[in-house]
């Protein structure tokens, strides 16, 4: 239709034609062109809408295929009505053992996740159907106006009118709902979301790590530009046109400038870590909190056979996150080396999770204090969702280990009090308490919780947040002093509160064995911090901890 536009104009008004017939022809040509603009806009809208719908339906097909694959892997059956069934009878009996109950709940969780995948596929299909139907009804009822410009401009108007919306993520979605929603996105839709709406998925648990990384790098670039521009504006505003310093303006913006400086330091650290050799994934970044939060991984969380998630503790900040990232890179290498020595070709990814407000000395907002559990409880809720999301973002779960130090161990302890975190093992070290007095309150398989305490580590004796882990019944203890592994290799001991992840240490070696799925080769031991009896710690708590 656009190609014939020039021919129509030539045909309607031949050169040198004048008089009343020419004027009549011109009037008729104007009327036809007006009508044609509307037709062009309508055809363009229909073409755009059908193409968008075809692409969106591809996402629906992918989601259905994924649901069927998930059902096949887990021995589930999807009925013609979309219902999910299992061959086992999921009932609770009066004499049900704890192991039976855990197995039943795990099986029910698989059924629920499959049902969620089906529900999101149907939600997407209904959304596509509604959007396409709305465009076609608009065309049928002549609601699309081609405007008063050229036919090309009318075509552009039609493209806008025919664009279908991309289905938004489920509000407050669970990791399973988020994973199911993301599965309904076609490749083009995913690229659109990452480019235009990176905030939708940057921190959305259940979305794959590669997509989150791309989205978060986009967010990081945008925030870097904002911080630099805003700091330059404030700096320029501190000086009047005559060059004198405007003290009132300075004090008005001093707090904002301090926050921007903190963000600038955090961004610089993230940039430096992402530029290091090896594969890195930025799995979360949040500038809306009092202090910047971030999640960064070494390796590929989507494909690794073994994944370890480390939560640091007191005084941790993104600006100072580089050391943790280095330690996680070393642990990843150590674990892969140990697997290689066994003849196993397993791959490993390690994650530093600082997506909570780790307490700082002297801070008191919203429970953000080393003496209070508020930050650990809030962080534990989010950490639990992150751990669950790693599993739900993949068709088959990786071998997943939680690692945590100091106040971070309290955070992990609270995380594991939420059902369904899905860790296979957990290692706590230098802990002031796990937020509980009983190991059974943690959602960790029996015998798969480990504790390491170094000599002269006073934090390990605090028992501030539940029983000192040294005294928890059922927890396994890892050696932190000088020791030799079963194959005769020697490992260096650590002391104090901060060196558990030291490369080549006994504690790092044992963590590598746990992360690699061979905890039986970890070196057992039971060191104490300052006191032999954990209960003695209460006698020397400082006043602000009593």
User: What CATH number corresponds to the domain at position 340?
Assistant: 3.40.50.1820
pLDDT at 23: 84
On whether both 243 and 154 belong to a single domain, the answer is no
Same-domain pairing of 231 and 180: no
Q: Would the CA dihedral through 491, 496, 502, 508 be positive or negative?
A: positive
Residue 319 and residue 455 in one domain = yes
Exposure of 145 in the CB half-sphere (CA atoms within 13 A): 3
CA distance 546 to 543: 5
Residues 254 and 395 in one domain: yes
- Examine the domain organization and report whether 376 and 510 are in the same domain: yes
Enter the DSSP assignment of 469. Answer: G
Quick one: 278 and 371 in the same domain?
yes
State whether 148 and 264 are in the same domain. Answer: no
SS3 (DSSP) at 369: coil
CA distance 35 to 408: 68
Beta carbons within 10 angstroms of residue 42's beta carbon: 25
Contact 506, 513 (CB under 8 A): no
pLDDT of residue 370: 53
Q: Give the end of a domain, one of 188, 223, 246.
A: 188
**SS3 state of residue 546:** coil
Q: Is residue 281 part of a domain?
A: yes
| Residue 471, in any domain of the structure | yes
Q: Which residues face 207 on adjacent strands? A: 205
The answer to whether residues 501 and 535 belong to one domain is yes
Q: What is the pLDDT of residue 126?
A: 96
Q: Give the per-residue pLDDT at 368.
A: 52
Domain that holds residue 233: 214-541
Max CA distance (Å), the chain: 113
Q: What's the CA gap between 51 and 29, in Å, rounded?
A: 32
Q: Do 160 and 229 belong to one domain?
A: no
In this structure, is the dihedral angle defined by the CA atoms of residues 303, 308, 314 and 316, taken in order, positive or negative?
negative
**Considering the domain boundaries, does residue 288 fall inside one?**
yes
What is the total count of domains within the chain? 2
What is the pLDDT, as a whole number, of residue 470? Answer: 86
193 is a domain residue: no
Those residues of the chain that have pLDDT short of 70 are 5-7, 9-10, 12, 88-101, 362-371, 460-463, 528-546
pLDDT value of residue 200: 97
Looking at the fold, whether 254 and 386 belong to one and the same domain comes out as yes
| Encoded tokens for 218 | 């986009």
Query: Same structural domain for residues 137 and 270?
Result: no
Q: What per-residue confidence (pLDDT) applies to 487?
A: 94
Does residue 195 fall inside a structural domain?
Answer: no
Residue 208 is assigned to a structural domain of this protein: no
CA 494, 498, 503: angle at the middle one, nearest 5?
Answer: 55
Residue 209 lies in a domain: no
In a domain, 309, yes or no: yes
- Residue 88 and residue 49 in one domain: yes
């Amino acid at each position: 239709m656009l190609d014939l536009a020039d021919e129509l104009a030539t045909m309607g008004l031949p050169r040198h034609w004048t008089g009343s017939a020419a004027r009549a022809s011109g009037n008729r040509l104007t009327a036809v062109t007006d009508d044609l603009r509307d037709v062009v806009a309508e055809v363009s809208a229909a073409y755009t809408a059908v193409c968008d719908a075809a692409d969106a339906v591809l996402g629906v097909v992918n989601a259905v295929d994924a649901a069927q694959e998930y059902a096949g892997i887990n021995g589930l059956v999807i009925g013609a009505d979309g219902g999910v069934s299992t061959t086992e009878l999921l009932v609770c009996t009066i004499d049900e053992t704890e192991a039976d109950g855990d197995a039943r709940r795990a099986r029910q969780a698989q059924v629920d996740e499959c049902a969620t995948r089906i529900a999101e596929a149907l939600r997407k299909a209904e959304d596509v159907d509604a959007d396409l139907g709305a465009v076609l009804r608009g065309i049928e009822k002549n609601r699309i106006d081609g405007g008063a410009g050229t036919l090309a401009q009318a075509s552009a108007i039609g493209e806008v009118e025919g664009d279908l919306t991309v289905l938004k993520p489920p509000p407050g979605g669970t990791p399973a709902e988020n994973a199911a929603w993301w599965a309904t996105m076609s490749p083009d839709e995913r690229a659109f979301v990452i480019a235009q709406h990176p905030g939708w998925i940057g921190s959305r648990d259940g979305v794959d790590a590669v997509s989150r990384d791309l989205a978060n790098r986009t967010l990081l670039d945008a925030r870097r530009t904002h911080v630099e521009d805003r700091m330059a504006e404030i700096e320029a505003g501190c000086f009047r046109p005559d060059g004198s310093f405007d003290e009132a303006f300075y004090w008005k913006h001093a707090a904002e400038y301090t926050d921007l400086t903190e963000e600038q330091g955090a961004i610089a650290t993230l940039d430096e870590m992402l530029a290091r050799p090896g594969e890195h994934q930025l799995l979360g970044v949040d500038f809306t909190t009092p202090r910047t939060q971030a999640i960064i991984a070494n390796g590929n969380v989507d494909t690794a056979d073994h994944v370890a998630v480390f939560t640091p503790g007191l005084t941790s900040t993104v600006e100072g996150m580089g050391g943790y990232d280095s330690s996680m890179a070393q642990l990843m290498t150590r674990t892969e080396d140990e697997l290689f020595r066994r003849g196993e070709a397993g791959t490993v990814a390690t994650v530093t999770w600082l997506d909570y407000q780790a307490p700082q000395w002297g801070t008191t907002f919203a429970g953000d204090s080393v003496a209070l559990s508020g930050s650990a409880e809030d962080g534990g809720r989010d950490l639990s969702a992150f751990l669950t999301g790693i599993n739900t973002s993949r068709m088959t779960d990786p071998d997943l280990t939680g690692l945590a130090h100091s106040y971070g161990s309290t955070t992990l302890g609270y995380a594991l009090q939420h059902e369904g975190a899905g860790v296979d093992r957990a290692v706590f070290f230098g802990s002031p308490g796990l937020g509980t007095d009983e190991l059974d309150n943690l959602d960790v398989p029996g015998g798969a919780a480990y504790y390491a305490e170094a000599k002269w580590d006073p934090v390990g004796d605090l028992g501030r947040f539940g029983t000192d882990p040294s005294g928890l019944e059922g927890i396994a203890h890892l050696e932190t002093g000088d020791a030799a592994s079963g194959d005769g290799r020697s490992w260096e001991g650590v002391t104090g509160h901060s060196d558990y992840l030291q490369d080549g240490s006994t504690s790092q070696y044992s963590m590598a064995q746990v992360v690699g799925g061979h905890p039986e080769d970890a070196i057992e031991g039971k060191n104490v911090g300052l006191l032999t009896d954990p209960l003695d710690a209460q006698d020397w708590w400082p006043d602000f901890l009593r």
